[in-house]
Amino acid sequence: MSSSVVAFPLYRHQKLLIGVVHVLRVKHGDEANSAWKKMAKELLGHLTDSGVKAEAAEAEVRHLLYAALAEIKNDAATASG
C-alpha cells in the first residue's frame, strides 16, 4: 500500500500568493525571473521534504505562478477601466 501527501494548494495560501504577486510587480525582466526561480526552488524543496511527490510539487508551484499572473492581469484590467 502506498500513500501520498496531499497539500493545501499553494495558490490558495493568500499570504504566499500576495507575496509572489508583489515580487513580480516590483521586479522586472531578469530580476523578476531570478526571484521567481529562487522562490519556486524553495517551494519545491519544502513540498518534497514534506512528502509531496516531485511531479505534484511542480504542478503546485506552476499553479501558484498561474494564479499570481492572473491576479496581476485582473488588477491591470481593473485599473485600466
Q: Which residue range(s) make up the domain with 58?
A: 10-80
Q: Where are the beta strands (DSSP E) in 9-78?
A: none
Number of domains in the chain: 1
* Residue 64 belongs to some domain of the structure: yes
**CA nearest 71: which of 6, 13, 29?**
13
pTM of the model: 0.85
Quote the pLDDT of residue 75. 86
Q: What distance in Å separates the CA atoms of residue 80 and residue 18, rounded to the nearest whole number? A: 21
Quick check: 68 pLDDT over 60? Answer: yes
User: What DSSP designation does 8 have?
Assistant: P
Residue 36 Cα distances to 43, 63, 69, angstroms: 10, 13, 12
> What does the pLDDT average to over 12-26?
95
pLDDT of residue 3: 60
Mean pLDDT score of the chain, rounded to an integer? 90
* Residue 17 resides in a domain: yes
Residue 67, domain member (yes or no) = yes
